[in-house]
Structures are given as C-alpha cells and as structure tokens.
Amino acid sequence: MTHQWHDSYRHQITPAHHLDPRSKLFVGLLFIAVVLLTPRFTPVQAAGYPALILIAAALSGVRLRLLAVRFLTIMPFALLMGVSALFSHLSHQEWLGMLGKAMCSIAAMSLLMLTTPFPDLLRALEQLHLPRLLVMFLAFLYRYGGVLYEDAVHLERAWAARYFGRFWLRQWAHLGNILAALFIRSYERAERVFAAMQARGFSSGAAGVRLLHFGFSDAIFVCGGLLLLAAVRWGRFS
Amino acid sequence: MKSVLDVRRVSYRYPDGTRALENVAFNLLEGERLAVIGPNGAGKSTLFFHLNGTFQGEGEIDILGERLNGRTLAAARRHVGLVFQDPNDQLFMPTVFEDVAFGPVNLGYSETEVRERVQKALRQIGMEGSEALTPHHLSMGQRKKVALATVLAMAPRILAFDEPSSGLDPRSRRQLIELLKTLPQSQLIATHDLDLVLDVCHRAILLDGGRIVGEGKVPQIFDQEELLSAHGLEKPLRMQM
Amino acid sequence: MHIPDGFLTPRVWVSLDVVSGSLLALGLRRVSAAFEEKAIPLMGVLAAFIFAGQMINIPVAGGTSGHFLGGGLAGALLGPWAGLVVMSVVLIVQCFLFQDGGAAALGANILNMGVVGSMGGSLFYRTAMGGLHGERRVFWSGFLSGWLSMVLAAGCCAVQLCLSQVVSWSAGLSLIVGIHALVGLLEGIVTGTVLQALSASRPDLVRLDQSRFTLKDGMVWMILLAILFAAARFASEAPDPVQKLLGLK
C-alpha cells in the first residue's frame, strides 16, 4: 500500500543517508538563511549558490533526475506568486533575485528531503532541542496523515457511488459531511491510540532513545560546507 | 498447573448505564492458550481492557498472584501484553524500531538494552532488519506481526489477542497460527475464527451479553451444538464436514 | 496561500518567525496543560485530520479543483491554542515534505493560517454563536468562521507581501484579498456544514460550551493585534536593527 506523497522521497537510498541528519539539517537551513539574507546577488553569488547545491547533490549520490523532477514540480507555484510580483515596483533585477532566492531555498529543501527520511529529520529536530511535544505531533501527523486520507477516500467513494448530481457547488457541502464523518473517526482513533500508548506504559515524562551519531564525515561535511558558503557570501573575487 | 490470571466476578457498566460485563469469572493456566468466543458485542474487548487496567470494574483480577489495583497497574501492563484488533492503532510511531522500542523505553531500560529487546522481538516474529521501515509500507500481515512485536519487547508473561486473524490473507493467517503455537507465553485469544481456535487453543470460554455461558476443552466444546447456536455460533468449518 | 522563501524581506520574515515561534511555544504549553497525557495522540491525529482534509480535491467550476484549508474549522472545533498548534504542525510538515511554503517563511505562514486563521476562526465562531439565534446558527457561525478567517489570513499575507514590496498595495489588497474572499465562501460552506453535522451527531466533540465571547478573549485579541501591529511597524521602519545586527547595512 503506497502513497504518492509518502513515497516521493523513497526512490533511492543515497550515500548521504549515512550522514547524521543534524548536520544535513543544520547546513541546509544555514544555507537558506544565508541566501535569503544576502541583500543583492553579485554575479559570483548568483552562480555560486546554485553551484553549492549542485556540488552537494553530486557528492550526496542523489540521482540528479530525481532532484530536477522534484524541483520542477514545485517551481511553478513559486512562479505563480512571482507573476503577481510583476504588478509591483520591483526592478527586473530585483524580481530575478527574488525568484533566485526562492529557487535556492526549494532546491536546498528538496535535496535535504531526498537524503534524509522524515523520521530521521524528526530525531534530528528533537536532539536539536525542538520541544518534544511538537516533535511527537509531527511524528503522528506523518504516521496518520496517510491513514486518514485513505479513510477520506473511502468515505468519498461511498458518497460518490450514491450521488448523481452534477452541480459542483453541492460537492463542497458534501465535503462538509465527509469531513464530519472523518473527524469522528479520527477522534475515536486517537482514543484507541491513547489506550495503546498507555498499555505500553506511556506517561508524559518519558524521553526518547538517542539514536544519532555524529561522525567524522559529518564533521568534514559541516566544516567544508560552512567554509564554501562563507566564501561565496563574503569572498572577494576579482 | 499454576494459574497466571484469575478473574473473579468482574462486572462493568458503561457510563451510559448499559451492562457490558456481568460476574465474569475464569482463570488462565500457565502456558495455556484460552479462546474467548462469542457473538459480536459480547464484551470481549471490554474484558481485555480490564486485564491491563484501562477499564476498572467491580470484582477482582489477580495477575501472577498479585491483585490488580492502582498501585500494581504499571506492573500489570508489563505482564499483560494486549494486541489490538487494528494494528494501525498500535503502530503509532514513524518507524518500526521506534514502535517496538516504545514499551521498553517507557520501562526505563538503557539504550543498549532497548536495542537488544527490539532485535529479539523482531526476530521472534521473523522480521529482523525491518527497523527503519514505516508502518505505512507494511502489509496487513506484517503490521499485525509488528504490533505483536511491540508487545513482545516488553517481555510479558501473558498475551491477550483481540481478533488476531481478522483481515489476514490465508498465508499470513497460517503464519500467525504457527507463530501463536511457538510463543511461550500464556495466551488469551478473542476471536471469531473458530478454526483457529481448533488449531491453536487448549480451552475455550463462551461469552455472550457480558456473561460466561459456556466453557470447555477444545475440541469438546464444539460438540455442544445447541449451546453454540444459542449464542450465535456454529461448529468450526473443519468439524462440519 | 503558502508563501515561498525569497518573497519576504528579512525584516518581515525574521520578526514573524519570532512572533509565531513565541505564540507556538505558548500554544504548546496551553495544549499540554489542557489535554495532559492525551495531548500527543489527540493533537497528532487531529493534525493528520486537517492534513488529510486538505488533500481532498474538490472540483470548482471550469475544470479546476480547489482545496479546503481548515483553519477556521480547527479553531472552532479545538479552540484557539489547539487550533494554532494543529495548523502549525500541518504547515511545518507541508514545508518539509512538499516544499509548500518556505522554511524561513514558516513564521509568516503560521501567522496567517494558524494565528489569524485558526485563533481568529475560534474567536469568530464563539462570537457568532453568542450572537446568533435559531436552528441554523451553528452553520452560519461556522460559515462566518471559515470565510472571515480566510479573508483576514489573505489580508495578512497581502500585507506581508506589500511590506516586502513584492506587490503594490493596491494590487495586493484587491487581488489577493479579493480572490480569497471568493474562495472563502467555499471554505465557509464546508466549515459550516461540518460544524452543523457534528453538533447534530456528536455534540460532545464540539466546543459549544465556549460559545460566549468573553472579556478575556477580547483582551487576548488586543494583545495579539498589538504584537502584529508592532511587527508591521518594525518591519517597515528604517534603520533596521535586525539587518544591522546581521551586518547587512
């Protein structure tokens, strides 16, 4: 039983999967922050930032086709927002810079998710001191999002099999009934899961298991990444 | 033969007043596999939830000789492993490892000990190496096995299964039956699958309307056709030929 | 309505990250206190519910399809803090898994859809329930909650984009808010229908006990609006201490 959204990142286990997710997350988010905080791209930066992504992608072992497909799927949405920016007082250069930043961020996040399974990302977030409660919420959404979507699809099919009208507006009202049924199911499932958690000794104080190990390749990756990033951002090349 | 579970005159009423269990009394012997059969709504799930203290009704329950109450609740949950009907309710962590580790972690074991227990539990169900998988990508049969592993990792002495074979294809069902026979724990199995009872269980109790209406060794209990049909059951298919 | 990275200026996204982060942290504490041990399965599964609901495609006239956002519904059903937490969880997962909305822009998106959308939705629902009468008051309260929360969320989004000089004020407000005022009608219909259906079948699951708008709610709103106002002023003032700090000026 597979789902399109769950599986968009399961195509490949790369060498980069073995890096500690904390280092990938740290470098990835830092990259995005530095790019976004660069006021105006110099030519070096305009070429350098994308180059850093491509170098990281090449070193990670990700199949470039996967990254490209992922990237091209997301870009149109950013472009759409960009179109509205044409109604502003931005110069062409500023507009391109804005889109360039959007592209860098999307590419960086895509690469991060292609090299890091979501559960690993959650462990990294927890050990980087994101509140445990929030991490558990994220974990549960990841776990049950697909399950509840299937429930919704079943409900929708049952409804569609008995609905013969064509007026689209009615379907929005019917969505309301489907969601109400889904909500009740979700709530009841939450109660059963709670019972299952208690049956295995759950109490809110328990901590998780430490499973991450920061290794030598992580140190090289982080140091190398930071150095290159600093070079592109602040280096004087002339 | 020592009794590992003693249920004495347990009654339970739902918040809205309906009687779910009435004077239920039975015991489970060490190493025994006891079936709980009966029509839908008989109270099988409610009974199971009494065994780990999720519900508290009137009457007494002794687990391994200790009375079940507020103080002994945590120990009871360690000794009695409940395997739910829908594995999706029991597999709530993002990966198999984290799900199977959940119980041991809550029990306070060290990281190495937790890892060992997880590996041992996965080996018992025949799914070593599946630690990194998301429950989402497992088939129903695999999910049921992993749900069992989450309970086995806590090393319980008693296992209680709620409809273990429901939703399984024939091969998975056969694997489950063989697995149940190899597990050393004493087992309580609530099921509609009477052929499974015939295959696996030593004894059976018949529950209907919250009461025990029959009890006997397997397969002799299935000879009582009137009793069976009076409570919405019939003989296992294998015995009907 | 998810804003990607790159569109907002640092003043805007940094200040909003701080504001939303603080509100989310506060929300986590409130939720943990309100639901105790049940918080994890309940909020987690309900976040999955909103997420699943958003994934359903509904046809809109002309062959396109739309999606339900659920901010107003989350707020009406769960109350302001749980609604905020649930929407934030959804937005964070969407950002990472689908790159729907930027990472730095999470603060802005959470503010729009979580704070304004969900906390606002809760406020509107309670107020409307307190003020309306009749059999259909649950539906109309839900409708208002869904529609208003979407319009205001779009308004905040437009303000953020305008402050970042990505859109002109006139185009931003008319286009973005205008489109969402229309889309919001559909959101309102769904929100109202869900709440009406639930109060008929499972009234215990709907927060009907909080149907009166209290003075305390009003005060909470004054504080939130003040924070937002301050953030907007801060974002449009020069010189900018944040940018100075980051060595950009």
End-to-end CA distance of chain B: 35
**Chain B contact for A201, CB < 8 A?**
yes
Same domain, A161 and A45: no
In a domain, A2, yes or no: no
Same domain, A150 and A186: yes
pLDDT band at B195 (very low <50, low <70, confident <90, very high): very high
According to DSSP, the β-strands at B158-162 and B186-190 are: parallel
Find out whether C4 and C108 touch, Cβ atoms under 8 Å: no
Minimal Cα–Cα distance from A163 to chain C, Å? 14
Three-state secondary structure of A142-170: HHHHHHHHHHHHHHHHHHHCCCCCCCHHH
Is A199–B54 a contact, with Cβ atoms under 8 angstroms apart? yes
Same domain, A230 and A189: no
Q: Over range A140-151, report the average pLDDT.
A: 90
Name the more confident of B170 and A209.
B170
Cα torsion C50, C53, C59, C65: sign: positive
In a domain, A142, yes or no: yes
- The number of folded domains in chain A is 2
Q: Over range C181-209, report the average pLDDT.
A: 84
- The number of folded domains in chain C is 1
**Chain B contact for A195, CB < 8 A?**
yes
pLDDT band at A189 (very low <50, low <70, confident <90, very high): very high
In a domain, A205, yes or no: no
Tokens of A203: 């109490």
Same domain, A83 and A195: no
Same domain, A181 and A67: no
Residues 159 through 188 of chain C touching chain A, CB cutoff 8 Å:
161, 165-168, 171-172, 175-176, 186
Q: Is the pLDDT of residue C62 over 60?
A: yes
Q: Is the pLDDT of residue C149 over 50?
A: yes
**Chain A contact for C192, CB < 8 A?**
yes
| Closest CB from A87, A118, A144 relative to C45 | A144
pLDDT at residue number B121: 95
Q: Exposure of A65 by Cβ count < 10 A (0-12 exposed, 13-18 middle, 19+ buried)?
A: exposed
Comparing CA positions, the residue from C20, C34, C154, C36 lying closest to residue C89 is C20
Comparing CA positions, the residue from C53, C81, C83, C85 lying closest to residue C69 is C53
Tokens of B34: 């006891």
Q: Tell me the C-alpha distance between A112 and A106, whole Å.
A: 10
In a domain, A12, yes or no: no
Q: What's A14's DSSP letter?
A: -
Q: Is the pLDDT of residue A199 over 50?
A: yes
Residue C167, SS3 per DSSP: coil
The complex's ipTM works out to 0.89
What is the residue range of A177's domain?
Answer: 131-199
Q: Tell me the C-alpha distance between B144 and B175, whole Å.
A: 11
In a domain, A168, yes or no: yes
CATH of the domain at C57: 1.10.1760.20
Find out whether C2 and C100 touch, Cβ atoms under 8 Å: yes
Tokens of C97: 């898994």
Helix A43-60, helix A216-234: angle, nearest 10: 160
In a domain, C4, yes or no: no
Same domain, A99 and A174: no
Q: Is the pLDDT of residue C236 over 60?
A: no
Q: Is the pLDDT of residue A37 over 50?
A: yes
Same domain, A104 and A221: yes
Q: Over range C25-48, report the average pLDDT.
A: 89
Contacts 24+ apart (CB under 8 A), B142-146: B143/B87, B143/B88, B143/B91, B144/B83, B144/B87, B144/B168, B144/B172, B144/B176, B145/B175, B145/B176, B145/B179, B146/B87, B146/B91, B146/B96, B146/B99, B146/B100
Q: Over range B142-155, report the average pLDDT.
A: 94
pLDDT at residue number B165: 92
Least confident residue range of A12-16, A24-28, C19-23, C102-106: A12-16
Q: Is the pLDDT of residue A192 over 80?
A: yes
Is A106–C73 a contact, with Cβ atoms under 8 angstroms apart? no
Mutate to test the interface with C, among A115, A121, A179 (most CBs of C within 10 A): A179
DSSP lists the bridge partners of residue B67 as: B62
In a domain, C3, yes or no: no
According to DSSP, the β-strands at B33-37 and B203-208 are: parallel
Q: Is the pLDDT of residue C242 over 60?
A: no
Q: Tell me the C-alpha distance between A151 and B88, whole Å.
A: 12
In a domain, A123, yes or no: no
Same domain, A34 and A110: yes
What is the residue range of C108's domain?
Answer: 10-242
pLDDT at residue number C36: 82
Average pLDDT taken over every residue of chain A: 83
Cβ contacts of C103 on chain A, cutoff 8 Å: 29, 32, 105, 109
| Closest CB from B92, B111, B154 relative to A193 | B92
Q: Tell me the C-alpha distance between C79 and C119, whole Å.
A: 7
Which phi and psi (to 5°) does residue B162 adopt? -105, 105
Longest dimension (CA), chain C: 60
pLDDT at residue number B201: 94
Same domain, A34 and A61: yes
| Closest CB from A196, A198, A210 relative to B89 | A196
Nearest CA in chain A to C200: A180
Minimal Cα–Cα distance from B37 to chain A, Å? 22
Q: Name the residue type at position B93.
A: M
Same domain, A78 and A148: no
Comparing CA positions, the residue from C97, C78, C73, C88 lying closest to residue C194 is C73
Q: Is the pLDDT of residue A127 over 70?
A: yes
User: In residues, how long is chain A?
Assistant: 238
Is A203–C37 a contact, with Cβ atoms under 8 angstroms apart? yes
Minimal Cα–Cα distance from A216 to chain B, Å? 22
Question: How many Cβ atoms from other residues are within 10 Å of residue C32's Cβ?
Answer: 17
Name the more confident of A128 and A164.
A128
Cβ contacts of C161 on chain A, cutoff 8 Å: 84
**Helical H segments across C56-115, by residue range:** 71-78, 80-98, 106-109
Q: Tell me the C-alpha distance between B42 and B60, whole Å.
A: 20
Cβ contacts of A147 on chain C, cutoff 8 Å: 48
Q: Is the pLDDT of residue B12 over 60?
A: yes
Cβ contacts of C13 on chain A, cutoff 8 Å: 36
pLDDT band at C239 (very low <50, low <70, confident <90, very high): very low
Nearest CA in chain A to B96: A119
Comparing CA positions, the residue from C13, C101, C86 lying closest to residue C49 is C86
Question: How many Cβ atoms from other residues are within 10 Å of residue A26's Cβ?
Answer: 18
Number of Cβ pairs < 8 A linking chain A and chain C: 243
DSSP conformation letters of chain B: --EEEEEEEEEEE-TTS-EEEEEEEEEEETT-EEEEE-STTSSHHHHHHHHTTSS--EEEEEETTEEPSTTTHHHHHHHEEEE-S-HHHH--SSSHHHHHHHHHHHTT--HHHHHHHHHHHHHHTT-TT-TT--GGGS-HHHHHHHHHHHHHTT--SEEEEESTTTT--HHHHHHHHHHHHH--SEEEEE-S-HHHHHHH-SEEEEEETTEEEEEEETTGGGG-HHHHHHTT----HHHH-
Same domain, A88 and A167: no
**Chain A contact for C38, CB < 8 A?**
yes
DSSP conformation letters of B135-180: GGGS-HHHHHHHHHHHHHTT--SEEEEESTTTT--HHHHHHHHHHH
Residue showing tokens 């803090």:
C81
Number of Cβ pairs < 8 A linking chain A and chain B: 84
In a domain, C247, yes or no: no
Q: Tell me the C-alpha distance between B5 and B62, whole Å.
A: 6
In this predicted model, what pLDDT tens digit does every residue of B59-110 receive, in sequence order?
889 999 888 888 888 888 889 999 999 999 999 998 999 999 999 998 888 8
Same domain, A167 and A103: no
Is A39–C248 a contact, with Cβ atoms under 8 angstroms apart? yes
According to DSSP, the β-strands at B19-29 and B186-190 are: unpaired
Name the more confident of C232 and A38.
A38
